[in-house]
Structure 1
Amino acid sequence: MLSLHITNETNRLKAVVLGLARNIGDQPAIDDTYDPKSLEHLKAGTYPEEQDMVKEIKAVEDVLKKYDVEVYRPKVIENYNQIFSRDIGFVIEDKFIIANILPDREREIEAIQHIIDRVPKENVVRFPEEAHVEGGDVMPHGDYIFVGTYRGEDYPDFITARTNTKAVKALEELFPNKTVKSFNLRKSNTDAKNNALHLDCCFQPVGKDKAIIHKNGFLEEEEYEWLVNYFGKENVFEITKEEMYHMNSNIFSISPEVVISEKNFTRLNAWLRENGITVEEVPYAEIAKQEGLLRCSTLPLIRE
């Protein structure tokens, strides 16, 4: 049995599900893309190649193993994109919550069923169908659960709106002892520079008391201000629109002292090092073309 334990984004990582880039299939048709960035690269002829993405994920696996993290993998589904394991589920405390994701991606959950089966049945939760949620929008942080959502009445018009207010309510009911704090995010189906696909595309805690944040990802200025005040301005690294577009907030913590980051994030990586954090740099620019990065392709199961 797996005894799940996740209370935040940064404690020492013990076990994780890492996504797969093998047998990813043909490039999607333009009408089948789920986000503006993939669409942009398809149109430009720069959509990532499978062999490059396989290499990038292998680099992450090597770093995880270097730090003695137990790495679980999905079963391979032929001709199917299984890179972004964070979307399909998440762990808070000892509960595994299966995400209600885009219907086209349901098979990704089947591919990790062998892992879910190792969790005691009473700890596996699935929200009602109308409560949409993806793991990229959910961040446990001690007594808080931070949740990215979109509250606009035009929610159904956005394929980029992945977590709704019904899911926020479902989290409140499941974790009555925690404060669920939701953030209204900026969405665009067509402009990747003005689209925060998930909360982790514009914000993430790092180290012991720091955070990476992009103001324009938030629709309500007071919600952005709340986060800055919560962490303290001196502890916050503000990323530019360009850096958000390249997914600078989507790094992944192995512990408060160690993060995995993309090797081209020069400004961010320098700041992390200045703050005493070891940065394990990996190439991840090809996978980033699908509007997801290191946090998106990892689903932590156990942290200390």
Structure 2
Amino acid sequence: MSNVFVKSEFAPLKRVVMAQSEFAFPSKEDSGDEEFLTEESKDLYKGKDILGKNYREVFPERQKAWEDERDNLKKVLEKYNVEVLMPRLLTDYEKEMGKEDGYSNFFIRDPFFTIGHLLIEGSLRFPHRRNEILPVRNILAMESDNNKCLYLSIPKPDISKGHYSEEGPFLEGGDVLVLDKTLFVGRSGLASNGNGIRWLRNLMSNFGYKVVEVPLHHTILHLDCAISLVREGLMIVCEEALLDGIPEQFKDWDKIHVTLEDASRLATIGLPVNENVYITDHEFKFIGDELEKRGVKVEYVDFKISRSFGGSFRCSTQPLLRSDFE
């Protein structure tokens, strides 16, 4: 059996890549890369000398707390016998090359994603994230060498009109939800775009997959900020964030609803370990309570620092193996 296969968002998680905790601010102001952040997160940086600096330099205590959060998540995953792999750290050269736009190695969900037996490198919209694939490439190469899987990459984004050209193609893992042979892909204008979704639809049609585009509210970064598939027939959803409403495939599902404000605080970005266990933040105990009423065990991990960067549990992980097979 291959050790690379993702059947769905909630199939038993057995192998996963978990993010490192590296970030640096751009050396210029008004990068336009923080529209989706909460005001609380933006306020952290007001009045601070941050331009061109590593997060560790400016916020050493928060950096330590951030690393602790990821360690605590790793412990919970290993408690359920999940194998956890981590990308390498950025090299000094990579950091130097990223000084102008800033650099990141902090949310592994977006640079690549796994669908069935396919490992797919994405194409990220924000310039400071476009090299985020590099620290994990050795893992992807090793996995493709050792397993029956395909390793592909979407074309690099067009920059004919500058870094913020809208052509793309852009396709980010946070926008891609897998449900057997149906893929749901979000598009808000902040991440994945029409050209990226078209590329994925053309590719996956060769493997019997259907791609459903899901238009999102303009403040929602990724589809996983609006939908979490907990198990077959149960979802957490922010209906206000879905411009065309909840996709028809979920019309008969049991739904735990959250507000747009909750979604902006990343209430839906928990992580199913399997259909019976779900990881979320203490901040969202109201969701945990609803899950427990439905027989789901909830594991709580404080993820406040990670959430201040605009990502949470799902963003910090990318599965290599989610399968019912033993």
TM-score by length of 1: 0.85
Distance 1:46 1:56, change over 3 A: farther
1:215 matched residue in structure 2: 239
Read off the aligned partner of 2:155 and give its amino acid letter.
Answer: P
What is the match of residue 39 of structure 2? 40
- Give, in angstroms, the shift of residue 69 of structure 1: 0.8
Matched, 1:31 2:47: no
Distance 2:32 2:279 in 1: 27
Cα distance in 2 for partners of 1:7, 1:85 equals 19
1: distance between equivalents of 2:286 and 2:169? 38
Moved more, 103-112 or 255-264: 103-112
Asked whether the 8 Å contact 1:143–1:178 carries over to 2, the reply is yes
Q: Distance in 2 between matches of 1:198 and 1:38?
A: 12
More helix by share: 1
Partner in structure 2 of residue 191 of structure 1: none
Shift of 1:44: 1.7
1:139 counterpart residue number: 177
After superposition, the Cα gap between the structure-2 partners of 1:28 and 1:139, relative to the gap in structure 1 and judged at 3 Å, is farther
Per-residue CA shift, 1:15-41, capped at 9, x if unaligned? 1110111x5346886523622354734
More displaced stretch, 47-56 vs 139-148: 47-56
Q: 1:17, 1:33 → 2: CA distance?
A: 29
Alignment of structure 1 residues 6-21 onto 2, 5 Å: 6-21=6-21
CA contact (8 A) 2:201 2:210 kept: yes
2:311 is paired with a residue whose SS is coil
| Equivalent position of 1:94 in the other structure | 117
Q: Which residue of 2 aligns with 1:58?
A: 71
Tell me the distance in 1 between the aligned counterparts of 2:150 and 2:294: 37
Aligned equivalents of 1:83, 1:256: Cα separation in 2: 26
Contact 2:41 2:309 in 1 (8 A): no
* Correspondence for 2:5: 5
Structure 1 residues without counterparts, runs of 5 or longer: 188-194
Listed as ranges, the gaps of 5+ residues in structure 2 are 47-58, 96-102, 157-167
Q: What's the Cα RMSD here?
A: 2.3
For the residue of structure 2 that corresponds to 1:81, the secondary structure is strand
* In structure 1, distance between residues paired with 2:155 and 2:42: 36
- Choose 170-179 or 273-282, whichever is displaced more: 170-179
Greater mean deviation of Cα atoms: 75-84 or 53-62:
75-84
In structure 2, the partner of 1:173 is: 202
Question: Offset of 1:267 from its aligned partner?
Answer: 1.0
Give the Cα–Cα distance (whole angstroms) in 2 for the partners of residues 249 and 291 of structure 1. 12
The structural deviation recorded for 1:142 is 1.1
Structure 2 match to 1:83: 106
Question: Which residue in the other structure is 2:143 paired with?
Answer: 119
TM-score, length of structure 2 as denominator length: 0.80
Alignment of 1:73 onto 2:86 = yes
Q: Give the Cα separation in 1 of the matches to 2:32 and 2:199.
A: 28
Contact 2:118 2:150 in 1 (8 A): yes
**Cα distance, 1:202 vs structure 2:** 0.6
Structure (1 or 2) with the larger CA radius of gyration: 2
Contact 2:36 2:221 in 1 (8 A): no
- Inter-CA distance 28–18: structure 2 relative to 1 (3 Å threshold): farther
